[in-house]
Homo-oligomer: A and B are copies of this chain.
Amino acid sequence: MSLDHALLVSLLEKPSSGYELARRFDRSIGYFWHATHQQIYKVLARMEDAGWISGEVQPGEAAPDRKLFSVSRSGRSEVSRWLAEPTEPEGVRDSLMVKMRGAAFGKPGALIPELEHHRALHANRLTAYRVIEARDFSGALDRQRALQYQVLKSGIRFEQGWLEWCEEALGLLHSFDQDQGGNTP
């Protein structure tokens, strides 16, 4: 469990409404911790009950009302507590890898469009990261920005890794297509 903490950090960076957070989770932080708006609203409600955040309704002029949340003192101390507490890496879930192994029991060629799709997605994301990098992280950086940049750099590194891997995997599958049928090289 830790959407709580992702939201707290997000709110520390900038007090926001649920809707805003949901949008932010489609970019930025969401690249490292995804969540849907329903889940976000649920957790916000729970954290408000717990006193970690407080919400203030802002009557919208020419727009629906929005409830702006900010982190309370007890929310801040929860963040500190969590930062100090050791965390194990999350368990991986990568269906593409399972599919690769499954492909041995079906038509490996069927995975080619899938891999191309993934390659395109990762290429797009890499481009998006590069844009953010150029826009927000050139020049001198204060601590907060330096940390954010370090996080972004992990994104860049991994998307590059993905791209290279997709190329390699596509090469392998294409090589299967050529020597039809044979099961040994």
Contacts and interface: CB of A to CB of B under 8 A. Distances in A.
Interface residues of A, number: 72
Number of this chain's copies in the assembly equals 2
Interface string A1-36: 010011011001100000000000000010111100
Given A9-B105, A105-B9, A97 B33 contact: yes
A174 interface: no
Given A150-B169, A157-B164, A96 B101 contact: no
Contacts of A113: 86
A55 interface: no
A97 B156 CA distance: 13
A86 to B, nearest CB: 6
A88 B124 CA distance: 14
Contact of A95 (B5, B76, B98): B5
A34 B92 CA distance: 6
Contact of A108 (B8, B106, B117, B147): B147
Interface stretch (A42-50, A77-85, A129-137): A77-85
Chain A at the B interface: mostly helix, strand, loop or mixed?
helix
Contacts of A76: 105
A165 B157 contact: yes
Contacts of A84: 106, 110
A150 B164 contact: no
B95 A87 contact: yes
Contact of A5 (B90, B91, B98, B146): B98
Interface in A103-142: 103-108, 110-111, 113-114, 117-118, 121, 140-142
A80 B106 contact: yes
B143 A108 contact: yes
